[in-house]
């Protein structure tokens, strides 16, 4: 399998080079040149396969022959052995909806599914190439700790993670700053997540700096993250479909950076019988406005109960846009250029109709989120975290009565205890991994949201 950039200047990379490049050197995002197809026989075979077996079957279709198959299988098994549930991402049925629990990894959010894999993948590729890497990433809360747990203590890697100071939950912050391995650096920036994401993009676009410091990307601009997330759409289908007998199912996805739901879109293009992808957002609803009205214009970031989705500029959106525009890099570059200056894109009726074939969307505000957690708890006894609640709300409202809906549970409720407390008047049960976290040593540096300052900090501490 070969990879190319959405912007058309990077044309022919191996899987390994695509993973190492992160953001494409022409400023675009990397995609496979073809999308492998999974036929109905293979889909049926997944029903009796374990999560790591399905993961190997799907991921190996995207790596190509230059990846030793036994090494890949071993790497995948090792990545999912850290999850505390034997099914890795179990599915549970609650009052008519299916909940796909993606939070059984070391940091209790779905980002572990991709980042446990990516950490091991980086380690493997750096060993093979005898190279080192400095990872620079921005987090709205969950990517940071998941990335840190993915690479902590690894020999050839230093990791620098920026989070918006004061805008992540207390547990999220502690999960990052209490990892005191020598190769881990936490930066609290005076700004928003979008500032952090901008700094990452600007730093990666300085190609000399990127080469000198062997920068690596852990944000969902890295293709390997999207790839690892495609797997659980197939996994969920293989477990839910036989139970329902319906050929097609809906997925509801709490969305911020468009990474997770884009993986669902890829799964659909590979042949997974998806009826609707339901894009659920909080008040930061640029993507919802895009789906419903063709209006992709940036507003101000507002703070909500689901901070990991407090994002306006969704970096993965460009990948979808590339397909929407008929895989035409020239038109895409035009749109991205005009967006860079105007911060707004408008889509006409024809394109919008195409979007609506794949997506539906709902905005769920604070009050509705709290109401959803409370109401769902009363009906089922099951405690939703605020991000998952946004998705379940949209799933319950928008899915067809005769089409089963799988709601992606993106975080464990214990990560967002305040919101849960507000909704049901009690704290969520705390998993053992959080025991005593407030008492552990922590390390973090406060810094201005300026690209040059972050670059200087990294340069002094790079591998
Ligand atoms: C990151 C995150 C999201 C949003 O996922 P995207 O891939 O950015 O759309 C939703 N919920 C939780 C808990 C997250 O950590």
Whether the pLDDT of residue 110 is over 90: the answer is yes
Instruction: Please give the Cα distance from 46 to 100 (Å, whole number).
Output: 16
Q: What local confidence, expressed as pLDDT, does residue 151 receive?
A: 97
Q: What is the mean pLDDT of residues 418-440?
A: 93
Q: Which residue has the tokens 């008929």?
A: 326
Q: How far is the CA of 35 from the centre of ligand 1 (A)?
A: 24
Pocket lined around ligand 1, Cβ cut-off 6 Å: 109, 111, 142, 220, 254-260, 308-309, 387, 410-411
Q: How far is the CA of 256 from the centre of ligand 1 (A)?
A: 6
Cβ pair 454, 161 in contact under 8 A? no
Give percent helix, percent strand, percent coil of the chain, each to the nearest 5: 50, 15, 35
Q: What is the mean pLDDT of residues 264-285?
A: 97
Which is the closest atom of ligand 1 to the Cα of 385?
Answer: 13
Q: What local confidence, expressed as pLDDT, does residue 97 receive?
A: 97
Whether the pLDDT of residue 233 is over 90: the answer is yes
Mutate to test the pocket of ligand 1, among 108, 112, 257 (most ligand atoms within 8 A of CB): 257
The rounded percent of the chain whose pLDDT value lies above 70 is: 100
- By C-alpha distance, which of 291, 289, 308, 307 is closest to 299? 289
Which is the closest atom of ligand 1 to the Cα of 111?
Answer: 15
Whether the pLDDT of residue 313 is over 90: the answer is no
Which is the closest atom of ligand 1 to the Cα of 256?
Answer: 9
Mutate to test the pocket of ligand 1, among 101, 256, 407 (most ligand atoms within 8 A of CB): 256
Q: How far is the CA of 460 from the centre of ligand 1 (A)?
A: 31
Nearest Cα residue to atom 14 of ligand 1: 308
Mutate to test the pocket of ligand 1, among 104, 109, 319, 320 (most ligand atoms within 8 A of CB): 109
String of DSSP letters for 235-302: HHHHHHHHHH--S-EEEEEE-SSSHHHHHHHHHHHHT--EEEEEEEE-S--HHHHHHHHSEEE-----
The rounded percent of the chain whose pLDDT value lies above 90 is: 90
Model confidence pLDDT, tens digit, residues 26-43: 989 999 999 999 999 999
Q: How far is the CA of 75 from the centre of ligand 1 (A)?
A: 24
Whether the pLDDT of residue 424 is over 90: the answer is yes
Which is the closest atom of ligand 1 to the Cα of 388?
Answer: 11
Cβ pair 4, 330 in contact under 8 A? no
Model confidence pLDDT, tens digit, residues 115-170: 999 999 999 999 999 999 999 999 988 899 999 999 999 999 999 999 999 988 88
Q: What is the mean pLDDT of residues 239-244?
A: 96
pTM here is 0.95
Q: What local confidence, expressed as pLDDT, does residue 315 receive?
A: 84
Q: What is the mean pLDDT of residues 420-435?
A: 93
Whether the pLDDT of residue 23 is over 90: the answer is no
SS3 assignment, position 373: helix
Q: Which residues share a beta bridge with 447?
A: 189
Q: How far is the CA of 66 from the centre of ligand 1 (A)?
A: 31
- By C-alpha distance, which of 62, 172, 179 is closest to 121? 62
Q: How far is the CA of 283 from the centre of ligand 1 (A)?
A: 14
Which structural domains are found in the chain, ordered by start? Answer: 91-106+224-424 (3.40.50.1100)
Q: What local confidence, expressed as pLDDT, does residue 311 receive?
A: 84
First to last CA, the chain: 31
Whether the pLDDT of residue 65 is over 90: the answer is no
Whether the pLDDT of residue 220 is over 90: the answer is no
Residue 276 has φ and ψ, to the nearest 5°, of: -130, 145
**Token pair of 176, please?**
């990052």
Which is the closest atom of ligand 1 to the Cα of 141?
Answer: 15
Mutate to test the pocket of ligand 1, among 193, 194, 228, 387 (most ligand atoms within 8 A of CB): 387
Model confidence pLDDT, tens digit, residues 343-390: 999 999 999 999 999 999 999 999 999 999 999 999 999 999 999 999
Q: How far is the CA of 69 from the centre of ligand 1 (A)?
A: 30
Whether the pLDDT of residue 46 is over 90: the answer is yes
Instruction: Please give the Cα distance from 386 to 160 (Å, whole number).
Output: 27
SS3 assignment, position 382: coil
Q: How would you class 312 by CB atoms within 10 Å of its CB: exposed for 0-12, middle for 13-18, buried for 19 or more?
A: buried
- By C-alpha distance, which of 296, 262, 291 is closest to 352? 291
Average pLDDT, the chain: 95
Q: Catalytic residue numbers? A: 111
Instruction: Please give the Cα distance from 456 to 206 (Å, whole number).
Output: 13
Model confidence pLDDT, tens digit, residues 329-354: 999 999 999 999 999 999 999 999 99
Confidence class for position 447, pLDDT limits 50, 70, 90? very high
């Amino acid at each position: 399998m070969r990879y190319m950039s959405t912007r058309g200047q990077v044309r022919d990379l191996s899987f390994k080079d695509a993973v190492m490049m992160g953001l494409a050197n022409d400023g675009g995002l990397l995609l496979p040149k073809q999308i492998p197809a999974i036929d109905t026989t293979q889909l049926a075979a997944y029903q009796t396969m374990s999560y790591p077996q399905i993961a190997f079957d799907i991921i190996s279709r995207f790596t190509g022959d230059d990846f030793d198959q036994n090494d890949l299988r071993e790497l995948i098994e090792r990545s999912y052995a850290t999850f505390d549930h034997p099914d890795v991402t179990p599915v549970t049925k609650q009052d008519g909806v299916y909940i796909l629990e993606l939070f059984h990894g070391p940091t209790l959010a779905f980002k572990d599914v991709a980042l446990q894999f990516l950490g091991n993948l980086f380690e493997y590729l750096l060993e093979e190439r005898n190279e080192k890497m400095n990872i620079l990433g921005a987090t709205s809360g969950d990517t940071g700790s998941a990335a840190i747990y993915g690479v902590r203590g690894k020999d050839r890697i230093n990791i620098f993670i920026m989070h918006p100071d004061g805008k992540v939950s207390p547990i999220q912050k502690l999960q990052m700053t209490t990892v005191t391995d020598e190769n881990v650096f936490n930066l609290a920036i005076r700004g928003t997540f979008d500032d952090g994401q901008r700094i990452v993009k600007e730093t990666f676009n300085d190609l000399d700096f990127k080469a000198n410091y062997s920068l690596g990307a852990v944000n969902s601009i890295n293709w390997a993250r999207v790839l690892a997330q495609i797997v659980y759409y197939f996994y969920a289908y293989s477990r839910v479909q036989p139970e329902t007998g319906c050929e097609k199912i809906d997925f509801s996805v709490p969305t911020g950076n468009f990474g997770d739901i884009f993986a669902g879109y890829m799964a659909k293009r590979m042949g997974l019988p998806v009826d609707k992808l339901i894009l659920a957002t909080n008040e930061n609803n640029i993507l919802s406005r895009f789906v419903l009205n063709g209006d992709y214009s940036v507003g101000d970031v507002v703070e909500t109960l689901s901070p990991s989705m407090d994002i306006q500029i969704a970096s993965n959106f460009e990948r979808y846009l590339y397909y929407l525009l008929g895989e035409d890099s020239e038109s895409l570059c035009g749109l991205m250029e005009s967006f860079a200056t105007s911060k707004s894109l408008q889509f006409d009726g024809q394109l919008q109709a195409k979007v609506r074939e794949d997506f539906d969307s709902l905005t769920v505000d604070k009050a509705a989120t709290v109401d959803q957690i409370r109401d769902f708890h009363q009906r089922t006894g099951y405690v939703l975290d605020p991000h998952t609640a946004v998705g379940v709300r949209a799933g319950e409202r928008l899915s067809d009565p005769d089409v089963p809906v799988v709601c992606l549970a993106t975080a464990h409720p214990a990560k967002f205890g305040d919101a849960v407390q507000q909704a049901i008047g009690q704290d969520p049960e705390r998993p053992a991994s959080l025991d005593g976290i407030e008492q552990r040593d922590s390390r973090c540096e406060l810094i201005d949201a300026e690209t040059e300052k972050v670059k200087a900090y990294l340069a002094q501490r790079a591998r």
